[in-house]
């Protein structure tokens, strides 16, 4: 049996400026600041139109190739694209008022209350979205008196919800003593579910696949769904699948810090190759905690706070169709426990070992997807240009192997890499934002292969000093010849 | 080189990990009182 394929990719961004205050870093900084910080944050938030016209976002949803960013002057937020569309080849950019409606549709426990004005407004906003036909939109309408919202916020642990600077409702906790069911945690989890459902709906529509045809779902989201007895218990995958009508599927979650999407795709490919399941969806919802993570650097540079979007990703893995590029299962690179955590150790494990196994040179991979963090987000806060550093490291390995001269590293980076364009949502930048572009370029005959390399920071959980990572290569379908 | 000195070690995920720096500091005679690797993305 030939290797599996990724037949379809979907990518979604959701503009949620009113939730930036609930990102982990802004929440802590607003509480600790001696000067009023929230008004300064709000002054630096972008409009929906600015988010749609932002070149990296257009790359993310498939309207622009990543290499085109090399031709657009920086800062990209100062070179917005005229005529940019909210819908793209791989997905869409959703405005906040629509997402509020979607969030309520995802809410099975009445965690969200809207006031009587806002519920109908959010429903109306969502009604035009073609991906949500058949859902119970009446659920969004049910508003409550403002006094009840104020009472819940003042004395019952609920968090106020805002839109365009106004309180429009609140988000409740679901247990007064369970830290895993506090409002902020549930908000984070529900946003991952709702954004994951949106991107899965896009995936199934693009793939022309009925939800009933899906056998298995793997969530690679960054959240910890659970309760006091089982924090991070999981199975967000099934909650997302239920919302999308995948009634014949079951699922579970893959947890591997930022490397989870690559782990999930490799697991999905193994399940398809073995014949256990035919159609496996990998889905990653957005991460509330990472909104505004670098906002201090953005404020220092008097630039817009660019971490104002949730990112969501989805991939359909199925058996070889003779058309789409295959996932070469003999290409899977893994970071062994005994590999060591230096950058060179990690890249040797993830890049060189698999290439040696396949008899390929570093330069014989047309393009590398590494962690595709948008440098415009990270550089102002001193976190560096993550993809560029990764490409230089891979280029350095090619130099060590005498495949290229040291003086050719910059050319290697330009030809085999690309500028970062992904929101800094942890798992979302993990190489996979390039999958859609790579698959299309291979099908057009512009490339023959691409390698996807992601890394994870296991040490952040304080259980091990280990790093992590995984990689795989996709290649032109051999049946095309 | 660092005998009698105490060291606080901050490693970086995309640079040099904390344990690697700590090993060097210990080899140079320092007492490592705290070592951590951070991820800034």
- Tens of pLDDT, residue by residue over A374-407, are 999 999 999 999 999 999 999 999 999 999 999 9
Q: Is residue B34 part of a domain?
A: yes
Say yes or no for a CB contact (<8 Å) between A384 and B14. yes
**Do A327 and A318 meet the contact criterion of CB atoms below 8 Å apart?**
no
Q: Which domain holds residue B15?
A: 6-38
User: In this structure, what DSSP letter does residue A373 have?
Assistant: B
Q: Report the distance separating Cα A314 and Cα A203, nearest Å.
A: 6
Q: How confident is the model at residue B17 (pLDDT cuts 50, 70, 90)?
A: confident
- Secondary structure string (H, E, C) spanning A400-468: HCCCCCHHHHHHHHHHHCCCCCECCCCCCCECHHHHHHHHHHHHCCCCCEEEEEEEECHHHHCCCCCCE
The residues, any chain, with a CB within 8 Å of residue A176's CB and separated by 6 or more, are A157
Q: Report the distance separating Cα A276 and Cα A269, nearest Å.
A: 10
Q: Report the run of H or E that residue B18 belongs to, with start and end.
A: helix B18-27
pLDDT value at B38 more than 90: no
The pLDDT of residue A106:
97
Say yes or no for a CB contact (<8 Å) between A342 and B39. no
- Chain B contacts in chain A segment 321-360 (CB below 8 A): 341-343
pLDDT lower than 50: segments of chain A:
none
Q: Is residue B31 part of a domain?
A: yes
Q: Is residue B30 part of a domain?
A: yes
How many Cβ atoms sit within 10 Å of the Cβ of residue A29?
A: 18
The pLDDT of residue B40:
83
**Do A287 and A428 meet the contact criterion of CB atoms below 8 Å apart?**
yes
Task: Kindly state the tokens that stand for A60.
Answer: 């993310």
**Cβ of residue A460 closer than 8 Å to a chain B Cβ:** yes
Residue of chain B whose alpha carbon sits nearest to that of A291 = B41
CA angle, A427 then A209 then A313, to 5°: 10
CA atoms within 13 A on the CB side of A284: 34
3-state secondary structure of A35: coil
Using CA atoms, how far residue A455 sits from A289, A316, A369, A430, B39, in Å, is 19, 22, 12, 7, 11
Say yes or no for a CB contact (<8 Å) between B20 and A459. no
**Do A62 and A91 meet the contact criterion of CB atoms below 8 Å apart?**
yes
The pLDDT of residue A130:
81
Q: Is residue B1 part of a domain?
A: no
- pTM for this model (two decimals): 0.96
Closest CA to B22 of B40, B36, B4: B36
CA dihedral A360, A361, A364, A366 (to 10 degrees): 100
Contacts of B24 in chain A (CB under 8 A): none
**Cβ of residue B24 closer than 8 Å to a chain A Cβ:** no
Which of B12, B16, B17 to substitute to test the interface with A, most A CBs within 10 Å? B17
Contacts of B19 in chain A (CB under 8 A): 341, 465
State the residue for tokens 């007492």. B31
Q: Is residue B14 part of a domain?
A: yes
User: In this structure, what DSSP letter does residue A282 have?
Assistant: E
Q: Count up the domains in chain B and report the number.
A: 1
**Do A426 and A432 meet the contact criterion of CB atoms below 8 Å apart?**
no
Say yes or no for a CB contact (<8 Å) between B41 and A343. no
The pLDDT of residue A57:
98
End-to-end CA distance of chain A: 18
Say yes or no for a CB contact (<8 Å) between B16 and A342. yes
Task: Kindly state the tokens that stand for A286.
Answer: 């957005």
Please name each of the domains of chain A with its CATH number.
326-480 (3.40.47)
* Closest Cβ–Cβ partner in B15, B19, B39 for A460: B39
The pLDDT of residue A341:
81
Closest CA to A240 of A199, A193, A280, A279: A193
**Do A315 and A282 meet the contact criterion of CB atoms below 8 Å apart?**
yes
CA dihedral A440, A428, A80, A165 (to 10 degrees): 140
The pLDDT of residue A99:
97
Q: Report the distance separating Cα A344 and Cα A226, nearest Å.
A: 37
Q: Report the run of H or E that residue A262 belongs to, with start and end.
A: helix A260-274
* Closest Cβ–Cβ partner in B16, B37, B41 for A386: B41
Say yes or no for a CB contact (<8 Å) between B17 and A342. yes
- Tens of pLDDT, residue by residue over A10-21, are 999 999 999 999
Give the number of A-B residue pairs with CB atoms closer than 8 Å: 43
């Amino acid at each position: 049996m030939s290797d599996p394929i990724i037949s379809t990719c979907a990518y979604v961004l959701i503009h949620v400026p009113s939730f930036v205050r609930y990102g982990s870093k802004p929440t802590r900084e607003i509480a600790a600041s001696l000067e009023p910080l929230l008004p300064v944050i709000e002054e630096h938030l972008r409009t929906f139109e600015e988010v749609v016209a932002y070149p990296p976002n257009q790359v993310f949803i498939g309207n622009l190739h990543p290499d085109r960013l090399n031709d657009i002057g920086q800062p990209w937020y100062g070179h917005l694209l005229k005529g940019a569309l909210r819908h793209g080849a791989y997905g869409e950019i959703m405005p906040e008022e629509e997402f509020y409606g979607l969030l309520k549709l995802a809410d099975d426990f009445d965690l969200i209350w809207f006031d009587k004005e806002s519920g109908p407004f959010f429903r109306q906003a969502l009604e035009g979205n073609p991906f949500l036909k058949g859902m119970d939109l009446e659920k969004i309408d049910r508003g409550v008196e403002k006094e009840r919202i104020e009472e819940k916020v003042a004395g019952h642990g609920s968090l106020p919800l805002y839109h365009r600077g106004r309180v429009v409702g609140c988000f409740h906790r679901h247990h007064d003593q369970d830290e895993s069911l506090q409002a902020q945690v549930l908000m984070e989890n529900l946003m991952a579910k709702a954004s994951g459902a949106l991107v899965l709906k896009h995936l199934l529509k693009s793939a022309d696949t009925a939800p009933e045809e899906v056998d298995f779902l793997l969530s690679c989201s960054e959240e910890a769904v659970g309760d006091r007895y089982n924090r991070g218990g999981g199975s967000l995958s099934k909650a997302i699948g239920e919302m999308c009508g995948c009634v014949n599927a079951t699922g579970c979650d893959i947890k591997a810090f930022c490397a989870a999407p690559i782990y999930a795709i490799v697991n999905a490919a193994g399940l398809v190759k073995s014949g256990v399941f035919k159609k496996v969806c990998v889905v990653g919802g957005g991460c509330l905690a990472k909104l505004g993570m670098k906002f201090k650097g953005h404020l220092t540079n008097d630039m817009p706070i660019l971490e104002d979007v949730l990112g969501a990703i989805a991939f359909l893995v199925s058996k070889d169709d003779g058309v789409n590029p295959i996932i070469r299962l003999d290409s899977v690179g893994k970071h062994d426990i005994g590999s060591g955590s230096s950058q060179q150790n990690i890249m040797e494990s993830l890049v060189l070992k698999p290439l040696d196994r396949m008899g390929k040179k570093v330069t014989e991979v047309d393009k590398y997807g590494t962690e595709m963090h948008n440098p415009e987000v990270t550089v102002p806060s001193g976190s560096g240009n993550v993809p560029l550093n990764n490409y230089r490291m891979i280029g350095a390995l090619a130099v060590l192997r005498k495949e290229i001269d040291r003086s050719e590293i910059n050319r290697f980076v330009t030809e085999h890499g690309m500028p970062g364009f992904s929101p800094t949502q942890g798992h979302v930048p993990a190489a996979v934002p390039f999958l859609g572009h790579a698959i299309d370029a291979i099908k057009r005959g512009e490339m023959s292969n691409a390698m996807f390399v992601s890394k994870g920071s296991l040490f952040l959980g304080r259980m091990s000093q280990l790093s992590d990572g995984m990689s795989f290569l996709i290649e032109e379908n051999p049946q095309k010849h | 080189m660092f005998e009698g000195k105490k060291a606080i070690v901050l490693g970086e995920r995309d640079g040099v990990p904390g344990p690697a720096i700590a090993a060097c500091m210990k080899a140079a005679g320092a007492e490592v009182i705290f070592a951590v690797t951070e991820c800034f993305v």
